[in-house]
Amino acid sequence: MSALRRFDLNLLRVFTALMEERHVTRAAERLHLSQPALSHALRRLREALDDPLLVKTEAGMRPTPRAEALLPRVRQALALLETGLAPPTPFDPATSTHHFVIATTDYFEEVLYPAFLAGLRRRAPGITLEIALITDEILRSGLAEGRVDLVVGPEAVSGLPAELLQHSWMTEELVCLAARDNVAVGEALDLEAFVACPQVALADISGLHAGKVDTWLAAQGLSRRVISQNLNYMAAARIVAGSEALMVLPRRMAELFAGLLPVRLVTPPPGLPRLEMQLIHHGLYAKEAPQAWLRRQLLDFAAEAETRP
């Protein structure tokens, strides 16, 4: 290592050209250098390696045994450097077989993911995707270690490591869901009626932040009575269908459940904030072509989805 610290790696190309040409002028022309510059480089090589390397004979310049022994190793080293420093292979979605891992929410997986995947498969038939739950461990290490490519759909998360990049992605109206035969709940709710109703909520298994609805109510000095916390929207909606409780959820998911279960949409109290979803990725992979392509697909998908009714 100490020898390498003192050695100018640019001289390796000079050494190879001299060994192959065995002529200073031709080696200089090959490297687009002047003859004096190449002669100076040869002197530096001789000093660094403590060997004449090339010796004049009646038959021309001949390499020394040390130079002959070094040549294949230097060629190999230069080839490795060329390969290692070459630009990455361009990412071609049409032919790629890349495997992506997305950590996401129940809402994205249930409502948006089928259409997103169908569009993705048309543009990139060879890629594969894997869905994972959003957890604190994924945010703290999974993204950094490359085990997860992207976190899709959570609301803004505070206190993330500085190297995690967070971008606004989609917004969605929040509505209420009630059983079709729940006569205690009308077509719309004011704030007083909303907090009086028993409710089913989604448990935040990631431990990332307080719920948007509870934070909104707390700012007004109010709270709601949550009778059940569930891990996914479908389980929560089934409870709503068979009880007097209601739940808050994104409109598209509510419309999906209204076609599957005996439930109906209810207009929430005025001022209920919208769901604001984020994309989160690690700065280490910000310039990696596959990950950049995936983020672009999600941004394009969001732009199209938000223009559809």
Query: Tell me: the pLDDT tens digits for 195-254?
Result: 999 999 987 655 445 578 999 999 999 999 999 999 889 999 999 999 999 999 999 999
CA distances (Å), origin 77, targets 72, 80, 83, 175 = 9, 5, 10, 64
CATH topology of domain 2-85: Arc Repressor Mutant, subunit A (1.10.10)
The dotted CATH code for 99-163+281-305 is 3.40.190.10
pTM for this model (two decimals): 0.73
Helix%, strand%, coil% for the chain, nearest 5: 45, 20, 35
Closest CA to 248 of 224, 219, 220: 224
Q: How far is CA 242 from the centre of its chain?
A: 40
Q: Are 101 and 148 in contact (CB under 8 A)?
A: yes
Beta bridge partners of 119: none
Phi and psi of 3, rounded to 5°?
Answer: -65, -40
Angle between helix 11-21 and 35-49 (nearest 10): 100
Query: Tell me: the pLDDT tens digits for 82-125?
Result: 888 877 778 999 999 999 999 999 899 999 999 999 999 999 99
Q: For the chain, give every domain's residue range.
A: 2-85, 99-163+281-305, 174-273
> What is the gyration radius of the CA atoms in the chain, in angstroms?
32
Fold: same for 2-85 and 99-163+281-305 = no
Query: Tell me: the pLDDT tens digits for 267-296?
Result: 999 999 999 999 999 999 999 999 999 999
Q: Which CATH superfamily is domain 174-273 in?
A: Periplasmic binding protein-like II (3.40.190.10)
